[in-house]
Amino acid sequence: MSWNEKGIAYMNEQNYEEAAKAFNAAIEEDPKDATAFINFGNLLGAIGEEERALVFFDKAIALDEQAATAYYGAGTIYYKQDQFEEAVKMFKQALVNQLEEADVFFMLGMSYYQLGALPHAMANFKRAIELNEADIDARFQYGLTLAQLEQVDEAVIQLEKVVSDAPNHADAFFNLGVAYAYKEDAAKALQAFEDALRIQPDHALAANGKKTVEQAMQ
């Protein structure tokens, strides 16, 4: 087993100290191996040492400009730091270098969403669920973005799929309620808000939505 493999095994066990030793040994063994720097960056990101993580990802990219997972790792750090424009650049570079995975499209979508670039966000969320139909988070965000772009019928389809696959997703029920209210289907809106409150009794937005619909139905 290589030092990198040992380090990843330790990381999976959340034994971060031994993982750091293993990745450090991998770097000492081959200082030109970008993989070891990427792994160390991922480790540092996992324990909250974000600035140090970026140093390791930058080193990996300097060693291998096609190191797609280094761009992805850097993108996740920039996203956590609310540097969404930098995150977009990194995730796009990951895609350019053939890391065409659902998680990359999801994070690129989230970055665009935070920047208010909703059509771009929508396209990336859609691609994420095309690659991974079971990705509840991506489908939920896709539904939200569709609703904000006033594609309400399609939003309802996606949010109904979310609550079908994740019956305790209170926020999905709440947003379904909003969509049904927009479509002037008061009965379905009321039911969706009640479902949200059944799951999360302190869901203030759902409580307000329920009250508003009940008043409109009187």
Classify residue 110: in a domain, yes or no.
Answer: no
Classify residue 101: in a domain, yes or no.
Answer: no
- Name the domain count of the chain: 1
Question: What gap in Å lies between CA 179 and CA 29, rounded to an integer?
Answer: 57
Query: Running DSSP on this structure, what letter comes out for residue 149?
Result: T
Task: Map tokens 């991974």 to a residue.
Answer: 132
Measured at the alpha carbon of residue 103, what is the angle toward residues 102 and 105, in degrees to the nearest 5?
65
Q: Convert the pLDDT of each residue in 156-204 to its tens digit.
A: 999 999 999 999 999 999 999 999 999 999 999 999 999 999 999 999 9
Classify residue 97: in a domain, yes or no.
Answer: no
For the entire predicted model, the pTM comes to 0.90
Please check the confidence at residue 101 and state whether its pLDDT lies above 90. yes
Give the model's confidence band at 66: pLDDT under 50 very low, under 70 low, under 90 confident, else very high.
Answer: very high
Classify residue 108: in a domain, yes or no.
Answer: no
Classify residue 6: in a domain, yes or no.
Answer: no
Question: What gap in Å lies between CA 20 and CA 27, rounded to an integer?
Answer: 11
Classify residue 103: in a domain, yes or no.
Answer: no
Look at residue 17 in the predicted model and tell me its pLDDT.
Answer: 87
CATH number of the domain to which 172 belongs: 1.25.40.10
Classify residue 60: in a domain, yes or no.
Answer: no
Token readout for 4 is 């990198």
Expressed as residue numbers, the domain containing 202 is 167-218
Question: What gap in Å lies between CA 119 and CA 213, rounded to an integer?
Answer: 30
Classify residue 207: in a domain, yes or no.
Answer: yes
